[in-house]
Amino acid sequence: MTVAVHWFRNGLRLHDNPALIEAHNNAEKLITLFIFDETTFNPKWYGYNPMRFLLESLIDLNNNLALVGGRLYILQGNPVNIFKMIKEKIGLHFITYEQDCAHLGRTRDEKVKSFCDENDIKCIETVSHTLWNPKSIIEKNGGVPPFTFKQFQNTAKQIGHPPSPVGNVDWLSVIFEELPASIQDEFKNLHNPTPETFGIYPEVPENLTSTYRWYGGETRALEQLKERLEYEKEAFVNGFYLPNQVNPDLLSPPSSLSAALRYGCLSIRKFYWELTKLFINKFEGDLLPMYSVTSQLIWRDYFYTMSIDNKNFGQIEDNPACISIPWNDIKIPENKKMLECWKTGKTGYPFIDAGMRQLMQEGWIHHVVRNSLASFLTRGDLWISWVEGLNHFMKYLLDADFSVCSGNWIWVSSSTFEQLLDCPLCVCPVSYGLRLDPSGEYIKRYVPELKNMPAQFLYEPWKCPESVQKQVGCIIGKDYPNCIVDHTIASKGNRKKMLALRVSMTNENRVPHCCPSDREEVQKFMYLPDECMQQLLPLENQDSKAYDIYKSH
């Protein structure tokens, strides 16, 4: 009898899984497995929260397979060696899996494809982690990825709507094949693994009692989808889109599905089409506006397309998606110390510190807070490379995906050398935070040292009189750190660096790079008020001549 292996990687779900359907349709027996492989997995790359979410997703997938008579084998080792042993012990005719857009994953997959070619095994790769096939976007765009989101949108429109979700597998007709004990032993099959299985432990005690606990798995993701659709429906009724970006809520349980999408516990195409149907039913229209919630999903595809053929997408050197910037050298002790203060939430700026501590406690931060943290580290204050921020986020964010996370960091940092993002107020760690959390409750939740600080000093505790500091039990410089940098001075200096860079971009040395499409896109992405946008053009008089030179090129 013919045997197919469906190899779960990112698409950790049974619904809308075309590769799983291919396995069932092409073979008489089915094996389902997940592999912690040596190419794409290293416990040192994972923080406690992301690892727990991943393992919960695998356990949930195994439970759902058990309901239809199957099981998920969670193996450890080289995929080629695993498939080779399956072929020898059982026979193997088909291997199916979902497309991986990351370079490490694609390198691994090429080795599997070569093995299949050499052993008369049919390898079937399907596209379901993205709305469109990134390769099709690139081909339609003349063989190169679109460098702006608007350009991506225009290219995608030429291709047409994303495919609709596929139906479910007919589980009554599936015959599951068991893996022999010899294979399970050889590749250390895991039963109900936890982060501790891999030597990963909570980074801070608060992990055990965090305000919000994220749960991985398809079951919870589909429940969250229903909740999110109700949330979006209410927003549609009230006449606006992106409800949690129009009015960011930093304190309530998050409505984000980003972690479920990252691991494929929820199909991106199901999410997209459910939202589309919701809009059509409500407004009798056939397309969602550009800045509806589906725009956020399309941003995700944009970054996947930028990365799929770019092995250097997560670095500065030889990366065509970004500009090479002379960031501060973190080998210098002072810069290294500032980076460490940013990572641990000890910058002396309460809003920044609250965001960084939430990351370590819960593994998630609201999109608009992430922008503030990224700006502070890079162009706003510390002038430290976005790569340092990327590496930290990749380890601790639940939804950290190489393509999307890299793309966001490139856009917020490197592309901010575009004049469109050159407003000194946009990235102020005080005023930006006040707009998002005027009551200061977000700060009090994650920076408990300041919980008794009077409201007027909560965002600028260094201005609090010493007598009041003693009264509330928080001495600045002792119980809570002094500011590691003066934002006013640092932001002015960094703005001059940006200007110098723009002026240097003549026709001879200006390079294409990931950048904003226009002012509206910047305002939506960064959650900026009109007064910030009004400061962008014209620039200050002393900058206008230099900007004219830049603009002419």
Q: In this structure, are strands 122-126 and 94-98 parallel, antiparallel, or unpaired? A: parallel
Residue 199 has pLDDT above 80, yes or no: yes
User: Regarding predicted confidence, which is higher, 229 or 211?
Assistant: 229
Summarize the confidence of residues 198-227 as an average pLDDT. Answer: 86
Summarize the confidence of residues 445-452 as an average pLDDT. Answer: 96
- The confidence score (pLDDT) of residue 428 equals 86
- The confidence score (pLDDT) of residue 293 equals 58
To the question of whether residue 175 is assigned a binding role by annotation, the answer is no
528-to-22, 23, 198, 521 alpha-carbon distances in Å: 46, 48, 42, 10
To the question of whether residue 400 is assigned a binding role by annotation, the answer is yes
- Summarised one tens digit per residue, pLDDT across range 522-548 is 555 555 555 554 444 433 434 433 334
3-state helix, strand, coil in the chain (%, to 5): 55, 5, 40
To the question of whether residue 302 is assigned a binding role by annotation, the answer is yes
Q: Which of 66-70, 254-258, 260-264, 441-445 has the lowest mean pLDDT?
A: 254-258
pLDDT interval class at 521 (50, 70, 90): low
- The confidence score (pLDDT) of residue 245 equals 58
Q: Which of 68-77, 190-199, 300-309 has the lowest mean pLDDT?
A: 300-309
What percentage of the chain reaches a pLDDT higher than 90? Answer: 65
- The confidence score (pLDDT) of residue 69 equals 97
CA dihedral 145, 147, 148, 153 (to 10 degrees): -10
To the question of whether residue 303 is assigned a binding role by annotation, the answer is yes
Residue 114 has pLDDT above 90, yes or no: yes
- The confidence score (pLDDT) of residue 546 equals 35
- The confidence score (pLDDT) of residue 217 equals 98
- The confidence score (pLDDT) of residue 539 equals 39
Domains along the sequence of the chain with CATH: 1-128+216-221 (3.40.50.620), 333-533 (1.10.579.10)
To the question of whether residue 352 is assigned a binding role by annotation, the answer is no
Global pTM reads 0.90
- Summarised one tens digit per residue, pLDDT across range 466-509 is 999 999 999 999 999 999 999 999 988 988 888 777 777 654 45
- Summarised one tens digit per residue, pLDDT across range 328-357 is 999 999 999 999 999 999 999 999 999 999
Residue 549 has pLDDT above 50, yes or no: no
pLDDT interval class at 424 (50, 70, 90): very low
- The confidence score (pLDDT) of residue 120 equals 97
- The confidence score (pLDDT) of residue 128 equals 97
User: Regarding predicted confidence, which is higher, 461 or 428?
Assistant: 461
Summarize the confidence of residues 308-331 as an average pLDDT. Answer: 88
Residue 405 CA to residue 303 CA, distance in Å, equals 9
Rg of the Cα trace of the chain? 25
Residue 426 has pLDDT above 80, yes or no: no
- Summarised one tens digit per residue, pLDDT across range 217-263 is 999 999 999 999 888 887 776 666 555 656 788 998 888 999 999 99
- Summarised one tens digit per residue, pLDDT across range 187-197 is 999 999 999 99
Residue 35 CA to residue 12 CA, distance in Å, equals 12
Q: Which of 19-28, 161-170, 541-550 has the lowest mean pLDDT?
A: 541-550
Question: What residues have CB less than 8 Å from 36, skipping those under 6 apart?
Answer: 74, 75, 76, 77
- The confidence score (pLDDT) of residue 535 equals 44
Residue 161 has pLDDT above 50, yes or no: yes
- Summarised one tens digit per residue, pLDDT across range 24-45 is 999 999 999 999 998 899 999 9
To the question of whether residue 419 is assigned a binding role by annotation, the answer is no
User: Regarding predicted confidence, which is higher, 147 or 368?
Assistant: 368
To the question of whether residue 241 is assigned a binding role by annotation, the answer is yes
Q: Which of helix, strand or coil describes residue 283?
A: helix
What percentage of the chain reaches a pLDDT higher than 70? Answer: 84
User: Regarding predicted confidence, which is higher, 287 or 143?
Assistant: 143
Residue 442 has pLDDT above 50, yes or no: yes
- The confidence score (pLDDT) of residue 174 equals 96
To the question of whether residue 297 is assigned a binding role by annotation, the answer is yes
- The confidence score (pLDDT) of residue 319 equals 85
Q: In this structure, are strands 3-8 and 122-126 parallel, antiparallel, or unpaired? A: unpaired
Sign, Cα dihedral of 398, 399, 400, 406: negative
Q: Which runs of E-coded beta strand occur in 451-492? A: none
To the question of whether residue 432 is assigned a binding role by annotation, the answer is no
Mean pLDDT for the chain?
87
Residue 125 CA to residue 230 CA, distance in Å, equals 34
Of 384, 398, 316, the C-alpha closest to 347 is 384
Annotate 501-530 with b (16+ C-beta within 10 A) or e (fewer): ebeeeeeeeeeebbbbbeeebbbbbbbbee
- Summarised one tens digit per residue, pLDDT across range 94-113 is 999 999 999 899 999 999 99
Residue 79 has pLDDT above 60, yes or no: yes
